[in-house]
Amino acid sequence: MTRPAPVGLLDPATHAWLIRHALPGARLYEADPLPGGFTNDMVLLTVRPAGAPGTERYVLRRYRPHCGRVPRNTCAVEAAVLGRAAAHAVPVASVVAADPHGRATGRPALLYRFMDGVPLGEVLADGPASGEARELGRAVGAVLARIGRVRLPRPGAFAGPSLVPAPDGTPPLGDLPGFVDRCLAAADGTLNGTDAAVLRALARRGTRALAAVAGERSLVHCDFNPKNLLVERRAGQWEVAAVLDWELAFSGSPLFDVGNMLRFAHEYPPAFATGFVEGFRAGSGRLPGDWLRISRTLDLFALADILTAPPDPAYFARARTALHRAAAGRY
């Protein structure tokens, strides 16, 4: 006897869309919430395809209305980004169906195949030996270089599923000092005055670094870190199985993603960061002479958002440590 999908996870309209349009004739066995959906709802589906033995797994991503200070891509744009990335051999989930405007389900929805793998953060937390950590870093760096080879017409946020940014090439987050000021004005009181002053000072010093990458127009993931990477062993070697969660993607400099990955490098085995840089360079990822300073500056956009609206106290503490390490020049 099959277990019905929980009503709280799948309303009748979404259930009907799944079995009639997205997966015609399939029988839904289970629908379970997936962790990590801070801005959208994620559901793991187990289904039996029509006329086929066994079961398959899919992920249903349902989009919530968004009015935050960090722009997020629509369902239609994220589906297009996944397609473009896949065309350049970036390991991403395969899109099965989309209801981009929510006409069938009531909310924009994206269905894609479940990707097997282990979150990179779990592997790093286990404290891999130096050689293994370096191998992991190289694999991750090589994939980031591949993402950076996806070229777009101009820099900026995506205006629609054509993935053509707005004509003015305006960065998604605007100027760094202004963004930091907006974050601090809306802060929930967690950040103290000393920390706010450090953040403002770093932002003011970063204007020149932003100018150095202003014209770059590569695909940027913008949340490229261990929680969004699945890895697995293939033929005895670590490889990236999937890059997840592209809702923040835009056109700009790959150094945004370098800074994101190295934000908490002090928490990882040192060999991981070494391998990451090696893999990125070997994959034809361009690193200017002052790449580390620039990448850390670009990551201040994310740090400002985290520090003034943290998801939880533990993550706030980690971000605060990263901020003060950046201020002290300790990378």
For residue range 160-174, what is the model confidence (pLDDT) as tens digits?
999 999 887 667 777
CATH 3.90.1200.10-classified regions of the chain? 118-327
- Regarding the domain with residue range 118-327, which homologous superfamily does it belong to in the CATH classification? Aminoglycoside phosphotransferase (APH), C-terminal lobe (3.90.1200.10)
Q: What is the pTM assigned to this prediction? A: 0.93
The boundaries of every CATH 3.30.200.20 domain in the chain are 12-113
CB-based contacts of 183, cutoff 8 Å, min separation 6: 69, 304, 305, 307, 308, 309
pLDDT at 219 over 90: yes
Cα(75)–Cα(78) distance, integer angstroms: 5
Alpha-carbon distances of 85 from 49, 155, 277, 313, rounded to whole Å: 27, 17, 21, 34
- Give residue 36's pLDDT: 65
Alpha-carbon gap, residue 117 to 230, rounded angstroms: 5
Question: Which of 63-72, 110-119, 206-215 has the lowest average pLDDT?
Answer: 63-72
Fold of 12-113: Phosphorylase Kinase; domain 1 (3.30.200)
Residue 118: strand, helix, or coil = strand
